[in-house]
């Protein structure tokens, strides 16, 4: 497929991609920082949470470094550092899935999300993220595709940040769709708008990225609320504190 020409100055393009990447990082870091500041989380959590945080914050550092390297013209180092993703991204999928299962068993997961959609939606979002990263790597020689797909991959994992910033308890029963899909989709949509204004057309990478995010979300929803999905959810939480909470989202939390 032919790539779309980008007639605008390189410095201007780089500035836009950097700003969009910083905005996504701000959502994730800001969401978790807000949780700490409001006392909804603390550093006195089980070790698994700290390992999870180390892996995911490590990716944010890599993502930020990669964008800064491109913006400052260090493309060679950017390409070398990019190979870390081959190991780091699968590690994120594994750790994200492990912490999801741990959370639903330990305390039932966030009460303002339906239990099955949280259990299936998190791994689905991570697989979408991984797929987009590796699609971007496969297009690494086509910078227009590569950069947009990488931004879409990052957008796919901003849901936890939005879930901590937005007043999701007041959005029940739409808390999960808003935090996991609608809010993260703003980033590729912004990219589409900017492309349209600058070049008169929307780059297909944004469309593929948004389609992947939407498709993985809908597939996870279909599985989560199927008899099979509900049965698996019951098996996962059986015999644990998470089995006490109802499947449906609720607020305030049920006190043990």
For residue 215, pLDDT over 70 is answered with yes
Please report whether residue 33 resides in a domain.
Answer: no
Confidence of residue 6 (pLDDT cuts 50, 70, 90): very low
List, for residues 119-178, the tens digit of each pLDDT value: 999 999 999 999 999 999 999 999 999 999 999 999 999 999 999 999 999 999 999 999
- Per-residue pLDDT, 15: 86
Q: Are 82 and 140 in contact (CB under 8 A)?
A: yes
Residue 253 above 90 pLDDT?
A: no
Range with top average pLDDT, 27-41, 56-70, 81-95, 212-226? 212-226
Residues 6+ away with beta carbon under 8 Å from 60: 25, 28, 29
- The pLDDT of residue 252 is 84
Residue 229 maps to a domain: yes
Contacts of 118 (CB under 8 A, 6+ apart): 100, 104, 109, 110, 176
Indicate whether 254 belongs to any domain. Answer: no
pLDDT confidence bin for 227, thresholds 50/70/90? very high
pLDDT of residue 42: 66
Structure confidence at residue 249 (pLDDT): 96
Q: Is 256 inside a domain boundary?
A: no
- Structural domain including 64 reads 10-28+46-239
Asked if residue 75 is part of any domain, the answer here is: yes
**Is 246 inside a domain boundary?**
no
Classify residue 18: in a domain, yes or no.
Answer: yes
Count of structural domains, the chain: 1
Mean pLDDT across the stretch 218-247?
Answer: 97
pLDDT greater at residue 23 or residue 46: 23
pLDDT band per the 50, 70, 90 thresholds, residue 1: very low
- Is a pLDDT exceeding 90 seen at residue 72? no
Sign of the alpha-carbon torsion through 161, 131, 6, 81: positive
Residue 36 lies in a domain: no
pTM score, two decimals?
Answer: 0.91
The percentage of residues in the chain with a pLDDT greater than 90, rounded to a whole number, is 80
């Amino acid at each position: 497929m032919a790539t779309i020409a980008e007639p605008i100055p390189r410095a201007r393009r780089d500035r836009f991609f950097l700003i969009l990447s910083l905005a996504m990082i701000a959502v994730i870091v800001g969401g978790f920082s807000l949780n700490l500041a409001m006392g909804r989380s603390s550093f006195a959590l089980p070790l698994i949470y700290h390992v999870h945080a180390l892996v995911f914050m490590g990716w944010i550092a890599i993502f930020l470094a990669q964008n800064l390297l491109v913006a400052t013209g260090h493309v060679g180092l950017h390409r070398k550092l990019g190979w870390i993703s081959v190991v780091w991204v699968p590690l994120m999928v594994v750790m994200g899935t492990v912490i999801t299962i741990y959370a639903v068993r330990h305390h039932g997961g966030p009460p303002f999300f339906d239990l099955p959609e949280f259990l299936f939606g998190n791994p689905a979002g991570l697989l979408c993220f991984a797929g987009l990263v590796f699609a971007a790597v496969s297009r690494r020689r086509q910078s227009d595709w590569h950069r947009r797909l990488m931004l879409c991959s990052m957008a796919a994992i901003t849901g936890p940040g939005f879930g901590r910033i937005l007043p999701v308890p007041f959005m029940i029963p739409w808390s999960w769709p808003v935090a996991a899909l609608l809010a993260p989709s703003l980033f590729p949509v912004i990219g589409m708008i900017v492309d349209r204004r600058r070049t008169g057309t929307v780059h297909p990478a944004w469309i593929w990225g948004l389609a992947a995010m939407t498709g993985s979300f809908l597939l996870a929803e279909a599985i989560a609320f199927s008899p099979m999905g509900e049965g698996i959810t019951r098996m996962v939480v059986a015999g644990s504190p998470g089995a006490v909470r109802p499947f449906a989202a609720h607020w305030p939390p049920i006190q043990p």
